[in-house]
């Protein structure tokens, strides 16, 4: 992989992301021209200005949340695939997304959304953190667990979480709470604001920065535990820490977006075809690609089907599933 090709991919991704964000700022019930959107973004006129209010109170924070969530899920997808040496691994494979879903649905059915706008995101993050703690205890107790067993642990946690969600929804006080829970489970960025950005940004950015510092270890682990050990990597410690950080990053993303599928699968696969498997380039470009994917998916969800209500997670699945199938069949054919 030549450096020129990597820089071209990075520059192209950055330009496309900027254009996607601009489109997100312009499109909606209140349509704005690119000039109006950029003027409101960089030269806000105050609370009384319509364009400024639309951009800074509604569309820009939503685009930032979409970018953070997409970057987080794609980056964690790269890490999971390296750790488990499984190209089908993705952020939800450890059960963390399912844990966040249990926390969020519990918060919704208990009425936390009415008590505080922070209630549901914090409940989701608490559920994700609880699963990360369980995973930590399992890995500490059984240090001999391999990647297949970790996947089975995640499947078991997800199955248990699904049962708990069914119980919570079946015993919800009224149909409105059930509708809210199902809407959250489908994944959506409706009414996301700067408070959600502040909730997601610190763990997502710190976690991604940590992954960037462990590129050498990820390259070694992707080749197998024995090769990693002979390269000087402390396999058990690295795997444990990376899994826990990945779990917390996933939890922070899912806490503000609901369950979003396929980002952590499709984006890393696509980036590998463009820049190769070296994590020094794959990790940052996957973050960029994930942000682009989510901003586009969210813009399509809120504009393309109006007045029908379509969640961001639904659009991500409609787009991501066929792309992933094509990539998978192409890999098999090769």
Q: What is the pLDDT of residue 201?
A: 93
Token pair belonging to 191: 């009414």
31 burial level (CB within 10 Å; 0-12, 13-18, 19+): exposed
Range from 111-120, 162-171, 187-196, 247-256 carrying the lowest mean pLDDT: 111-120
The mean pLDDT value for 31-56 works out to 86
pLDDT band at 89 (very low <50, low <70, confident <90, very high): confident
pLDDT-derived band of residue 48, with 50, 70 and 90 as boundaries?
A: low
- The 3-class secondary structure across 143-177, one letter per residue, is CCCCHHHHHHHHHHHHHHHHHHHHHHHHCCCCHHH
In this prediction the pTM is 0.87
pLDDT surpassing 70 at residue 234: yes
For residue 201, is the peptide bond before it cis, meaning its omega torsion is within 30 degrees of 0? no
Mean pLDDT of 58-77: 95
Tokens of 153: 């642990």
Q: What percent of the chain has pLDDT over 90?
A: 30
Tell which CATH classification among 1.10.3470.10, 3.40.50.10440, 1.10.1740.10, 2.40.40.20 matches the domain 61-333: 1.10.3470.10
**Stretch 143-172: mean pLDDT:** 81
User: Best-predicted range by mean pLDDT among 56-65, 163-172, 186-195?
Assistant: 56-65
What span, in angstroms and rounded, lies between the C-alpha atoms of 24 and 62?
A: 9
Position 328 confidence tier, pLDDT thresholds 50, 70, 90: low
- The 3-state DSSP class for residue 9 equals helix
Higher pLDDT, 285 or 175: 285
- H helices of 57-118, in order, are 60-84, 96-109, 112-115
Close Cβ partners of 170 (under 8 Å, ≥ 6 residues apart): none
CA distances (Å), 284 to each of 93, 128, 289, 322, in order? 21, 24, 9, 24
Distance in angstroms (rounded) separating the CA atoms of residues 244 and 94: 10
Nearest-angstrom CA–CA distance, 301 and 315 = 6
DSSP 182-235: HHHHT---TT--HHHHHHHHHHHHHHHHHHHHTHHHHHHHHT-HHHHHHTT--H
Round to whole Å and give the CA distance between 92 and 94.
6
Q: CA–CA separation, 33 vs 25, rounded Å?
A: 9
- Name the percent of the chain in helix, strand, coil, to the closest 5: 80, 0, 20
């Amino acid at each position: 992989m030549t450096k020129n090709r990597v820089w071209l991919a990075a520059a192209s991704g950055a330009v496309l992301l900027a254009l996607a964000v601009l489109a997100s700022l312009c499109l909606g019930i209140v349509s704005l021209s690119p000039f109006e959107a950029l003027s409101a973004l960089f030269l806000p006129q105050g609370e009384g200005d319509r364009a400024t209010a639309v951009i800074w109170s509604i569309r820009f924070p939503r685009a930032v949340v979409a970018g953070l969530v997409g970057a987080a899920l794609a980056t964690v997808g790269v890490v999971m695939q390296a750790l488990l040496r499984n190209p089908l691994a993705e952020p939800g494979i450890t059960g963390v997304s399912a844990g966040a879903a249990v926390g969020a649905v519990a918060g919704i059915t208990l009425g936390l959304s009415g008590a505080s706008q922070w209630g549901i995101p914090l409940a989701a993050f608490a559920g994700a953190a609880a699963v990360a703690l369980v995973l930590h205890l399992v890995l500490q107790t059984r240090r001999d667990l391999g990647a297949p067993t970790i996947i089975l642990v995640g499947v078991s946690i997800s199955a248990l979480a699904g049962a708990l969600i069914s119980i919570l929804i079946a015993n919800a006080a009224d149909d409105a709470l059930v509708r809210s829970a199902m809407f959250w489970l489908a994944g959506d960025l409706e009414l996301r604001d700067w408070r959600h950005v502040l909730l997601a940004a610190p763990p997502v950015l710190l976690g991604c920065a940590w992954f960037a510092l462990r590129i050498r270890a990820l390259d070694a682990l992707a080749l197998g535990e024995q090769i990693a050990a002979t390269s000087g990597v402390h396999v058990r410690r690295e795997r444990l820490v990376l899994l826990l950080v990945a779990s917390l990053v996933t939890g922070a993303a899912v806490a503000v977006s609901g369950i979003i599928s396929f980002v952590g699968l499709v984006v890393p696969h696509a980036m590998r075809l463009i820049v190769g498997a070296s994590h020094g380039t794959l990790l940052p470009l996957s973050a960029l690609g994930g942000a682009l994917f989510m901003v586009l998916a969210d813009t399509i969800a809120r504009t393309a089907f109006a007045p029908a209500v379509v969640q961001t997670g639904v659009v991500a699945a409609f787009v991501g599933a066929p792309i992933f199938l094509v990539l998978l069949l192409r890999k098999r054919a090769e």
